[in-house]
Amino acid sequence: MKKEIRVFAPASVSNIACGFDVMGFAIDEPGDEIVLRISDNEGVTITKITGENGRLPLEADLNTAGAPLLSMIEKLHITCGIEMEIHKKMPLGSGLGSSAASAVGAAFALNELLELRLSKEELLPFAIEGEKIASGSVHADNVAPCLYGGFVLIRGYNPVIDVVEIEVPENLYCTVIHPQIEISTKEARKILPKTIPLADAITQWGNTAGLVAGLLKKDFGLIGRSLQDVVIEPVRSMLIPGFDEIKKAAMDSGALGCSISGSGPSIFALSSSLHTAVETGNSMKTALQRFDLSGEVYVSKINKNGPRII
């Protein structure tokens, strides 16, 4: 049995415009690194956190990476203690699943370190324990793609069941721009509408089904037409300076579609080629700079691997 392990867990894009709380996919970067060691002390001890300017708690039960480990120790009757280091490689409140990456990284790392041989389906509820701390609610549209890799559909909650892995076209690329501002997931959920008109619901259902069908059929036209959000984006976009201009820049560059990643402020676009994805990123960054904001741009295919040992 190993004494120490270091893993990388990737960022993820959730909601995918029309798929609020039920769709997400992993990207290659950024991500978080988790280091676990077997300890003589009981329970979980967080010895170091870097990359977050001292904002995250060292108390395991209050930490998105600590909570999954505590749950695993209790429910799996693990007797050894665990020391953990958390190295945040992406910003907090970025809309890229930062809390999910820490939660998934920790659960995945303990599974590998202790050779527990738990499946992804068995690990998912533990990872969700960490996500609950960050958002105050149960949703798996960042945790599931981070853990499974690829593009996933979460069919149901209470409990989470039917995590469906959707095959995507090989030449589908994602561009993400992260403006240097922060949006709290909890706060972004507070402004969401409690009810929606039936006409908007029908539009959203059609787009959600159309996006899945477009991915499976490798129909880029259908994918693009389906990347429309008439429920969440109109509300949350008001929290992101220059959103409309950034989205227009992406579409003018040839992107299939563009919307908010998670609760924002990150914005994602999908493209049918690497060249278009790179040009889209350049255009989005130029548009962002007009609002006196800087931002990081990431371009990758859909990450099919999820967390990995490094």
Residues carrying an active site annotation:
131, 185
Torsion sign across C-alpha atoms 248, 253, 259, 260: negative
Which of 111, 109, 80 lies closest to 5 in space, CA to CA?
A: 109
**Could you give the maximum distance between any two Cα atoms of the chain, in Å?**
59
Output phi, psi for 236, to 5 deg. Answer: -70, -25
Distance of alpha carbon 206 from alpha carbon 293, whole angstroms: 35
Do 61 and 70 meet the contact criterion of CB atoms below 8 Å apart? yes
Torsion sign across C-alpha atoms 267, 247, 236, 192: negative
Helix (H) or strand (E) holding 212: helix 198-217
Distance of alpha carbon 256 from alpha carbon 260, whole angstroms: 14
Question: CA-based Rg of the chain, rounded to a whole angstrom?
Answer: 19
Residue 154 pairs in a beta bridge with 163
| Tokens at 267, concatenated | 């914005």
173-179 and 295-301: which strand pairing?
Answer: antiparallel
Centre a 10 Å sphere on the Cβ of residue 69 and count the other Cβ atoms it contains: 28
Distance of alpha carbon 89 from alpha carbon 229, whole angstroms: 29
